[in-house]
Amino acid sequence: MNLEIYENSVHKKNSTRYYLARNETGQKVFVVEGKDTTRWQGDWHDNLLVGPLSDVNANHLRKKFPWLRPTTLGLHTSAGTGDRLGCATPGHIAAFNHVGGGIAPIFAQQSMRENARTLRPPRKVMDDALWGIFQAGWNKPWAADADHLKTLDDVIECGKAGYTFFTVDPFDYVDNEAHTASIVMLEMKAQSLPWDTLETSLDDVTKRYLNKTISLSDFDIYFNRLDLLRALCKYGAAIAHARRMYDQAQACVKEQPWEMEISVDETATPTSPLEHYFIVSELNRLGVQFVSMAPRFVGGFEKGVDYIGDLAVFEQELQKHAAVQKYFGTYKLSIHSGSDKFSLYPLFARHTEGKVHLKTAGTSYLEALRVMAIHAPDFFRDISQFSIDRYLVERASYHVSAELTKVPALNKLSDEQLPALLDQFDMRQVLHVSFGSVLAQFGGELLNRLDQREAAYHEVLRAHFVKHLQPFTR
């Protein structure tokens, strides 16, 4: 049938072979060779079935091969590789294979915001990861991250889709005003906290923390009344929401193994080590178990670029956060907006002693555009100009600082100069935040062109993610 087989995808069970292949049109197909009574989607040609990469076939396949089902990763050093296009997983796997077995992967990872912008529901993200895993022959543990969940309905939807890692984002419940409010105002704010859900009272919180000193490895945490009230009012409602989300996940996931991450990284102000301690202590009291936590670190964690800020100051704060983490010893520190933060990876690896989770997302999309810049320059110019035109609208929901006045003029660049735009600060962010509109406008053509350059895309991903993962290997 003129099929080109992906050799790593060939798996045999009993007398039947299962594999992926490309046909004469370049599209991937799923093939069953032998006798199998499963109700696959596709057409039989004697003892050979050729079928689509559909959700029905994905469901059958994950039942036959347990390693195609996500699991939990615990406290292992881990990294999430968001894939907004649904075809990057083989390239991610090539990077994990390159660096060895010291880092556990999360291959299915997408936020509800990205689900909406890419028109890929949680189940579709899971299935795309499965086909990539099957193609590359990855048979070791991996996880699936339902990222930045904000509502109970989000948890239910992702639980039904089979996710094993739930990132709770209580951003809407964080009181950023408390960061600078007076003690009088904080006393007033404290009265309206959801005390029933918190299962405590202001008097009990005061007894637990006020004037208490917690000795950590290199410094002490001391709760005076102002700092206690500030932590309580800033994060109290968020802690209560995390408890509700945890209970919902427990109810809908039931017997499937699962883990939770707490994310407060998208708040307007940094999380102090004292606030970090308070959040973890209160979640522990409420019985909320979580495997990783993403504080809002000092400095700039902007999309698609390296860390912006004083590295010496950052390292001092990171040491304190790592000391809090080690004091409890039950979770990892998580790096959100972690793509391309190359100056920080060695610091995290050293100070967390490997108890760290790296979360990336848009950088794989940017590497897809790099392939276009190299192999389809005219198409890349169209995407770039469209992204420039959309930037002032798209940046509203992202933390970026790119300025259009600093973006190089496309008409003054030769085709050979286009790939360098992916390394230019302002243009990289412009391209990053416009992905939703780009996919709505050019998505079909982009995926077709990437399919034609599949090997090139996976290779640039491998090289790019090796740079992300290598600092965390030990």
Instruction: Round to whole Å and give the CA distance between 333 and 382.
Output: 40
| Residues in CB range of 223: below 8 A, 6 or more apart | 209, 210, 211, 212, 274
d(CA 127, CA 115): 14
Strands 11-13, 4-5: pairing is unpaired
In three-state secondary structure terms, 374 is helix
Residue 9 near residue 20, CB atoms below 8 Å: yes
Our answer to whether residue 259 is catalytic in this structure is no
The catalytic residue among 83, 114, 147, 157 is 147
With 0-12 CB in 10 A as exposed, 13-18 as middle and 19+ as buried, what is 225? middle
Q: Taking each helix axis from N to C terminus, what angle separates 425-433 and 377-394, rounded to the nearest 10 degrees?
A: 80
192 class by beta-carbon count within 10 Å (0-12 exposed, 13-18 middle, 19+ buried): exposed
Q: Is 147 a catalytic residue?
A: yes
Q: Which of 154, 169, 261, 275 is catalytic?
A: 261
Other CB atoms within a 10 A radius of the CB of residue 284 amount to 14
Residue 350 to residue 451: CA distance in whole angstroms: 39
Element (H, E) at 221: strand 220-222
Tell me how far apart the alpha carbons of residues 340 and 198 are, in angstroms, rounded to a whole number: 38
Strands 11-13 and 16-22: antiparallel
Residue type, 212: K
d(CA 65, CA 324): 40
Active site residues: 147, 261
